[in-house]
Amino acid sequence: MEKTKSCFTMIIVPHSEETTYSLRLSLKAVRLLVGALIAGLSLFMMIACSYRQVWNESLEARSLREENRRQNEEMNLCAFETQQLLAQFERVESLTGKVTSRIGIAATDESLPDYENRLYASRSGEGVFNRAAHNITRLQQAVSEQSDSLNQINEQVEEYSRRLEATPSIWPAWGRITSGFGNRRSPFNRYVGQFHKGIDIAAPYGTPIYATAAGTVTGAGYRGGWGNLITINHGYGYETYYAHLSGFAVSGGERVSKGQVIGYMGRTGRSTGVHLHYEVHVNGVAVNPLNYIY
C-alpha cells in the first residue's frame, strides 16, 4: 500500500476501440518534472526580460545616435551662422569706416575684441554648443551696437549734407570779375576809397543769376543803391545778397535750392554798368565770396 500511494498513474483512452495506455510515475519523478517545468519557465522569463532590456537599450542607443547627429547638424549650423554674422559685422565696420572717412567725422569703435579666437576655439572641445551659442549672441550684440553707431553716423551725415547744401559754394553767374572784395577806389569818385563788401561779376544783360546755396528768400525787391536786390537766408549763419538785377524769378518767403535761377543780371540802382554785385555774410559779417566758390 505504501508503494502504491507514492505513485501516480496516467491512463490514456483513445476515441477508437484500441487498447488504452497507462503511464505510472513515482511521486519523486512527478516532483522532478514539476521542478524542471518551473525552472524552464523561470529561465524563459529571464531570457525574455533580458531580450527586452537589450532591445530597449538598442532603441535608446539608436535614439542617442540620432540626437548626436542632430546636435552635430545644429553645431554646423551654428558655426555657419557665426561666420555669416562675422562677415556681416566686418561689412558694417567697413561701411562705417568709408562713411566716416569721407565726411571727416570720428566713428565709434565697436569692434569685438578677439572675436576670431572666440569663433574658431568653439569648433571643438567640451561645451562646444554652449560656446558657439555664446559667440552668436555676442556677435549679434556687436552687430546691433554697430548698427546703432551707424544710425548715429547716418544722422550726422544727413546733418552734414544739409549744412553742405546750405553753404554757398557755386558761382552766382557766369561772367568775369570786375571788382573784388576789400578796399578799392569808388567807381563814382576815384579820389574816394571804400570797402567793397562783395564781388562784381559782369556779363550780358539778362544773364541768369543762381542761388549759391539752398535757403529761404528773405527779400526780393528794389532797395535804393542796391537796385533790385535778392537776399537769401541759408541757415547755419549764412546769408547771400544779389544786387542790381534786371528782374526776379523768385519772391519773398520762397524756398530755393542750390543752383536755382533766382533773377537776371541788370544795372538797376547805383551802378556804372551791367553786372551782379554778390555778397556772402557769415553770422552777420561780410566775407570774401571767393572763399565760398569752388
Q: List, as one string, the DSSP characters of 58-77.
A: HHHHHHHHHHHHHHHHHHHH
Higher confidence at residue 177 or residue 142? 177
Residue 246 confidence (pLDDT): 97
263: in domain: yes
Q: List, as one string, the DSSP characters of 83-108.
A: HHHHHHHHHHHHHHHHHHHHHT-PPP
Residue 129 confidence (pLDDT): 62
Higher confidence at residue 199 or residue 126? 199
Give tens-digit pLDDT for 259-275.
999 999 999 999 889 99
The pLDDT > 90 percentage for the chain reads 38
Residues 138 and 100 in one domain: yes
Residue 117 confidence (pLDDT): 47
User: How many domains are there within the chain?
Assistant: 3
- 118 to 84, 86, 103, 247, 280: CA distances (angstroms): 15, 11, 34, 70, 57
Last residue of one domain, picked from the residues 166, 189, 217: 166
Higher confidence at residue 135 or residue 36? 36
Residues 132 and 104 in one domain: yes
Contact in structure between 25 and 10 (CB atoms under 8 Å)? yes
Residue 131 confidence (pLDDT): 64
Last residue of one domain, picked from the residues 50, 65, 80: 65
Give tens-digit pLDDT for 103-117.
666 555 544 444 444
Residues 20 and 124 in one domain: no
Residue 111 confidence (pLDDT): 47
Q: How far is CA 291 from the centre of its chain?
A: 38
Q: List, as one string, the DSSP characters of 111-177.
A: --TTHHHHHHHTTSSTTHHHHHHHHHHHHHHHHHHHHHHHHHHHHHHHHHHHHHHHS--S-SSSSEE
- Please give the span between the terminal C-alpha atoms of the chain, in angstroms, as a whole number: 142
The residue segments making up the domain with residue 49 are 2-65
What's the whole-model pTM score?
A: 0.59
Residue 2's pLDDT band (cuts 50, 70, 90): very low
